[in-house]
Amino acid sequence: MKKILFSLTVIAVAIFAKDVSMEIVKKKKSIPNVYINTISKDASKISKQIKKMIKRDLLVSSHFLNKEINYKVGFENTPNFATLEKKNIQLYLNLNIFKNSENGISIKMRLYDTNAQELVASNSFKIKNKAKYPFLAHKIAILINKLYNAPPIDWMDRYIIFAKYNKAKNASIVISDYTLTYQKTIVSGGLNIFPKWANKYQSSFYYTKFFNSKLVLMKKNIYTGQNTKVVSSEGMLVCSDVSSDGNKLALTMAPNGQPDIYVYDVKTKKRKRITYYSGIDVGAGFVNNDKEVVFVSNRLRHPNIFSKRIGGKGVKRLVFHSKNNSAVTTFKNYIAYSSKESTNNFGSYTFNIYLISTTNSFISRLTTKGVNQFPRFSIDGETLLFIKKIRGKSYVGISRLNYNKSYTFPLKSGKLQSIDW
């Protein structure tokens, strides 16, 4: 079994691949080049930032390439398609960016297809708070992606929520876009850790708060500010996953000293103990239509990944390499986890993210350098978010599972404790 797993580490993550029916790719048999031209009379600084963000989004999507050329036309004018073809530009994006209020931004966009020789999109976008301009850029990139029937990148328009250490016994919770460009602190004061979105709409989230020498699981609505106590416990208390319908929580609790896995029913407010091991069981995630949980346990005298059917008795080992596998996350029948590995004969270690399936022996390593931990799947399961630490600095890592590509975005202050999206 071990040999089979190790031999499969080099297999690409083709299990997630979908057909791409972009007409432009069919004609050119390559990834299309996009040129972005910005026009602005009163918002020139932010227009440069928006252009930079859209270029980054298109690059991260892995469906487009960016190319700079010396060719500009007015917003209302149609570009010369023969000129664009000579410059190897398949898509020409014209953006008219202007202020719509004291603090608001509006964008008019026109997208031209060189192969079709026509205008393929004309849209408008606006925000009241210019600090949220990254989400305008994300929406434009998502629209371009949809127009050409590429695999979805809608996750770009979702909030990331994370906890960051500011100083000893002090951690705040922040929402941001996936590049960490836009950030807003929504919980501060004291120790606030392990945020987890409560639903797919990202209207509320759960988090653990240290209060009066006890851990309390809280739920907060980001729009109303309502903060509600869910449950408290002695020892460890973390919400590591939420069922697909939002009605059940996978909790790590230690009311009797040793941490075990519990499932908490949001409606009845009752909890059910799932594991009964005398050692450590933590960090559960739902799999197989929320009928099983995957979790980390030291049953082998070192951390490893196991699964158990809710209500069942047996426990199944899922990982057969390394002696330190932790920080697991799930999406349907797929599991990503962090694994500690030696990098040389002198004992230097790194943590890499691995991807496996609960239904077969597939395995793939997704990272290569640094300390990579706390993986989280995107809502569609095709992208992985994780925390990367290099030389004492924290980064958000994005791994595009279809394309074997990863990107990192630095956190300018503080250190990342945990993350979700």
What local confidence, expressed as pLDDT, does residue 21 receive? 31
Residues 63 and 169 in one domain: no
- In the chain, the N- to C-terminal Cα span, in Å, equals 34
For 377, residues 6+ apart whose C-beta sits below 8 A from its C-beta are 329, 330, 331, 334, 336, 383, 384, 385
Final residue belonging to a domain, choices 150, 167, 195: 150
Q: CA geometry: angle at 235 spanning 289 and 418, to 5°? A: 55
**Same domain for 280 and 392:** yes
> Quick one: tokens of 374?
């706390």
Instruction: Identify whether the C-beta of residue 194 lies closer than 8 Å to the C-beta of residue 208.
Output: yes
Instruction: For residue 3, tell me if it sits in a domain.
Output: no
The answer to whether residues 309 and 274 touch, using CB atoms and an 8 Å cutoff, is no
What is the rounded CA–CA span in Å between residue 316 and residue 288? 14
Residue 227's pLDDT is: 96
Overall residue count recorded for the chain in this entry: 421
Distance CA 125, CA 146 (A): 16
Is 355 a member of any domain?
yes
What is the residue whose two structure tokens read 């975005």? 409
Which pLDDT belongs to residue 256?
Answer: 83
| pLDDT of the chain, 421 residues: tens digit per residue | 333 222 222 222 232 333 333 344 334 458 999 999 999 988 889 999 999 999 999 999 999 999 999 999 999 999 999 999 999 999 999 999 999 988 999 999 999 999 999 999 999 999 999 999 999 999 999 999 999 999 999 999 999 999 999 998 899 999 999 999 999 999 999 999 999 999 999 999 999 999 888 899 999 999 999 999 999 988 899 999 999 999 999 999 998 889 999 999 999 999 999 999 999 999 999 998 999 999 999 999 999 999 999 999 999 999 988 889 999 998 888 899 999 987 654 456 789 999 998 788 888 999 988 899 999 999 999 999 999 999 889 999 999 998 989 999 999 999 999 999 9
Burial code (b: 16+ CB inside 10 Å, e: under 16) for 360-387 equals: eebbbebbeebbbbbbbbbeebbbbbbb
CATH of the domain at 106: 3.40.50.10070
Q: Is 35 in the same domain as 172?
A: no
Strand 91-99, strand 105-113: pairing: antiparallel
Element (H, E) at 126: strand 118-127
As a whole number of angstroms, the longest Cα–Cα distance in the chain is: 74
Contact 398, 62 (CB under 8 A): no
Does residue 399 fall inside a structural domain? yes
Bin 232: left if φ > 0, else alpha if -120 < ψ < 50, else beta. Answer: beta
Out of 118, 150, 182, a domain closes at 150
Q: Is residue 224 part of a domain?
A: yes
In this structure, the answer to whether residues 104 and 244 fall within a common structural domain is no
For 239, residues 6+ apart whose C-beta sits below 8 A from its C-beta are 194, 196, 206, 207, 208, 217, 249, 250, 251
DSSP bridge partners of 341: 350
Task: List the CATH number of the domain containing 256.
Answer: 2.120.10.30
Residues 135 and 284 grouped into a single domain: no
Residue span of the structural domain in which 41 resides: 19-150
In-domain check, residue 38 = yes
Q: How many structural domains are present in the chain?
A: 2
Residue 368: left if φ>0, alpha if ψ -120 to 50, beta else—which one?
alpha
Q: Can you list the pairs that 201-207 forms with residues at least 24 positions away whose Cβ atoms lie under 8 Å? A: 202/158, 202/159, 202/161, 205/161, 205/173, 205/420, 206/230, 206/239, 206/242, 206/249, 207/163, 207/173, 207/239
Q: How far is CA 202 from the centre of its chain?
A: 13
Looking at 21-79, list the stretches that DSSP marks H as alpha helix, in order from N- to C-terminal side. Answer: 23-28, 44-61
d(CA 359, CA 317): 13
Beta bridge partners of 99: 105
Q: Quick one: which of 378, 380, 379, 418 has its CA closest to 399?
A: 378
Does the residue 14 lie in any domain? Answer: no
Which residue matches tokens 């629209």? 143
Return the pLDDT at 344: 56
Q: Specify whether 116 is located in the same domain as 226.
A: no
Q: Is residue 10 part of a domain?
A: no
Query: Is residue 6 included in any domain, yes or no?
Result: no
Instruction: Kindly state whether residues 60 and 106 are assigned to the same domain.
Output: yes
Mark whether 386 and 286 lie in a shared domain: yes
| Spatial distance between the Cα atoms of 290 and 287, rounded to a whole number of angstroms | 5
Spatial separation of the C-alpha atoms in residues 92 and 86, rounded to whole Å? 13
Same domain, 72 and 129: yes
* Kind plus residue range of the DSSP H or E element containing 147: helix 133-147
Q: Which of 334-352 are b and which e, b meaning 16 or more Cβ less than 10 Å from the residue's Cβ?
A: bbbbbbbeeeeeeeeebbb
Q: What is the pTM of this model?
A: 0.88
Same domain, 329 and 405: yes
282-303 burial string, b = 16+ CB within 10 Å, else e?
bbbbbbbebebbbbbbebeeeb
Residues 170 and 260 both lie in one domain: yes
Among candidate residues 99, 118, 150, the one where a domain is terminated: 150
Same domain, yes or no: 161 and 107: no
